[in-house]
Amino acid sequence: MIETVLQFLGDTAPIVGAVLAVAGAFFTLVGTIGVLRFPDFYTRLHGASVTDTAGASLLIIGMALMAPHWLVATKLAAIWLFLFLTSPTATHAIANAAYVAGLQPRTGPGARSSEDGEAT
Amino acid sequence: MNTLLSVATLFLMLGLGLLLTRALIGPTLYDRVLAVNSFGTKIVLLLGLLGFVMGRPDFLDIALLYALINFVSTIAILKFFRYRSFQVSLARKTDAGGEG
């Protein structure tokens, strides 16, 4: 009984992993569309950073389910840990640098007139 | 399963193209830095996926190295454009010295 369950899990894990990988890639694509189309620097930053963690986590979990060997899964876990630590840090550094340099966020409903404030 | 992985690779490549567009037309410097940083993250994921598509998961070593270099280079670029020099300590300046 338990062997058949394990066999079933071993057979379905790669398929589930592939589906998760496709979902993560889709989230990543949606985030990049947001980076291209959002009106303001800070909103673009939001779109990029959120999908950098969510999409990357989904992709890496999916790849780990497809891993042929435990060493591959360990490497994937290392990559995931590193991305999870550095991606928000880099996003914070970029936002901080832009804010210190005087880039103003676009606020209010009628903020069309101010083109993306050029940093001096 | 390989078809699904190819679809995921295609999605990532489309996203890379959109990010390159943002990096080229980005109105401010920080848009470009953001696009290049995000590009690096996507390249890491694409390297891993390509390793699985080609049946050579050794690509993950390259992906890990790329992730490390990407983070360090982003911080270095930001530091350079803030201080116009790499010779400055990253410690927070006091307000008496003015904003850097």
**pLDDT value at A117 more than 60:** no
Residue B11 in tokens: 């999605």
Q: Hey, are the CB atoms on B82 and A97 less than 8 Å from each other?
A: yes
| pLDDT tens by residue, A48-90 | 888 888 889 999 999 998 888 888 889 999 999 999 999 999 9
Least trusted range by pLDDT, from A86-95, A101-110, B21-30: A101-110
Mean local confidence (pLDDT), B95-100: 49
pLDDT recorded at residue A103: 81
Global pTM? Answer: 0.82
Q: Considering only the beta carbons, identify the residue of B16, B18, B78 that sits closest to A93.
A: B78
Per-residue pLDDT band at A120 (split at 50, 70, 90): very low
**Chain B residues inside the 8 Å CB shell of A28:** 11-12, 15, 42, 45
**pLDDT value at B47 more than 80:** yes
A6 touches chain B (CB under 8 A): no
Q: At what angle do helices B29-53 and A2-37 cross, to 10 degrees?
A: 150
**Chain A residues inside the 8 Å CB shell of B63:** 79
Interface of B with A in 45-84 (CB under 8 A): 45, 48-49, 52, 57, 60-61, 63-64, 67-68, 70-71, 74-75, 78, 81-82
